[in-house]
């Protein structure tokens, strides 16, 4: 493992922790606003990553580092506790709680896009001829600008992925509970109950794992062309 690989991994991990922390803290805050203080009392309404890492050390430390060492990119997970009885009483509030996480990722994606365009306007960054997950924007000169380009690229791509993945309406993902906003309260309760069924949750994750790569490709291309209108990325 070269020093460059380690430095790139450090940027990846910073972005990963920032994205995950904002996602889980948004869940926790929305639940508190909706009347469930479970995550708040456990210290998760915070942008400090430490409480989130303590709750899910395997998903926030071990898996991301191993996945980067083996594949050059990071995967992982976190969680924010909530009261299932509160979800049953208030399925629409629970739906907003579920939606809050992906919305936080979309907000980070927009911040990344703003940073990318600010860098292009100031002349330190440029749209690449060929874009990729870690190469959404290019530095015009070597040095610190390369680290900035990598940071903004990963921030854009990772949060697009997290938002798209978590919005899939299958258990146990956020989209399964958030779909309750489109249903009656009784049907929302039934739909959300799927998330608590381990068999359905396992099947849902398996399907997402098998199909998401095909789904995300067009989403990523669409995101690039929204970021750079007229570039015609494919």
Task: Give the torsion sign (CA, 44, 49, 50, 52).
Answer: positive
Instruction: Catalytic residue, from 24, 56, 146, 185: name it.
Output: 24
The tokens describing 60, both together, are 């926030």
Task: Give the torsion sign (CA, 128, 4, 165, 24).
Answer: negative
Question: What is the distance, to the nearest Å, from the Cα of residue 132 to the centroid of all Cα atoms in its chain?
Answer: 17
End-to-end Cα spacing for the chain: 32
Q: Is 56 a catalytic residue?
A: no
Neighbours of 83 (CB within 10 A): 16
Neighbours of 157 (CB within 10 A): 24
Catalytic amino acids? 24
């Amino acid at each position: 493992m070269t020093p460059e690989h380690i430095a790139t991994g450090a940027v990846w991990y910073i972005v990963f922790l920032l994205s995950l922390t904002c996602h889980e803290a948004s869940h926790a805050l929305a639940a508190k606003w909706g009347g469930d203080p479970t995550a708040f009392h456990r210290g998760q309404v915070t942008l400090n990553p430490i409480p989130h890492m303590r709750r899910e050390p395997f998903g926030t430390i071990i898996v991301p580092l191993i996945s980067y060492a083996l594949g050059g990119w990071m995967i992982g997970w976190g969680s924010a506790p909530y009261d299932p009885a509160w979800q049953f009483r208030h399925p629409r509030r629970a739906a907003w709680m579920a939606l809050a996480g992906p919305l936080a990722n979309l907000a980070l994606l927009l911040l990344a896009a703003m940073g990318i365009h600010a860098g292009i306007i100031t002349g330190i960054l440029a749209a690449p001829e060929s874009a990729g997950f870690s190469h959404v924007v290019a530095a015009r000169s070597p040095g610190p600008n390369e680290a900035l380009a990598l940071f903004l690229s990963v921030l854009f791509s990772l949060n697009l992925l997290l938002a798209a993945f978590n919005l899939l309406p299958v258990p146990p993902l956020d989209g399964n509970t958030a779909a309750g906003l489109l249903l009656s309260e009784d049907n929302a309760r039934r739909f959300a109950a799927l998330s608590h069924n381990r068999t359905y949750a396992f099947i849902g994750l398996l399907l997402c794992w098998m199909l998401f790569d095909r789904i995300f490709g067009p989403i990523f291309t669409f995101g690039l062309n929204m970021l750079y209108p007229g570039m015609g990325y494919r």
